[in-house]
Amino acid sequence: MVGDEVAEQIVSACRTAIGDELRSVTYFTEREIDQLYLRGDLEGTADLVGFTEVERFGFRAQTDYRRTELGEYHFTIRVFEEGYLLRVIEGDQGVFVTTDTMSRDRFEEVAGSVRSILREA
């Protein structure tokens, strides 16, 4: 599990960059899942295990995308009809964030902040 201080930093960085469009924040490793934030108007019935299983493929992507012509891998955005999912991985830990529909420009700020927090954790 991620420590309380790191969890608070991650949620704060996401809330600052995304604002009211933030739906949820989930920390994960190969073995753990920890939902750090869920917006009050949402029900806690999302399939966290299913989402996390898909996002764990990102651990392999870090290696697979290393030294490509595209440069270093930074983050993944998944686009859905009603919003987005942002996945950020640093080493052996990751975070995925879900949002309502919003401007895509804010994802770079969130990803950079979360990667920095994870790097120091």
Q: What is the pLDDT of residues 9-65, one digit of tens each?
A: 999 999 999 999 999 999 999 999 999 999 999 988 778 889 899 999 888 877 777
- Say how far apart CA 100 and CA 41 lie, in whole Å: 12
Tokens of 113: 């902040």
- Say how far apart CA 27 and CA 34 lie, in whole Å: 5
CATH number (domain holding residue 24): 3.30.450.30
Range of the structural domain that residue 113 is part of: 4-120
- Say how far apart CA 3 and CA 60 lie, in whole Å: 24
**For the chain, what is the mean pLDDT?**
91
Q: What pLDDT score was predicted for residue 114? A: 94
Length of the chain in residues, anyone? 121
What's the total number of domains in the chain?
Answer: 1
- Say how far apart CA 67 and CA 81 lie, in whole Å: 33
Residue range 69-115, pLDDT digits in tens? 888 888 999 999 999 999 999 989 999 999 999 888 888 889 999 99
76-80: strand order across its sheet: 33-38, 22-28, 93-99, 83-90, 76-80
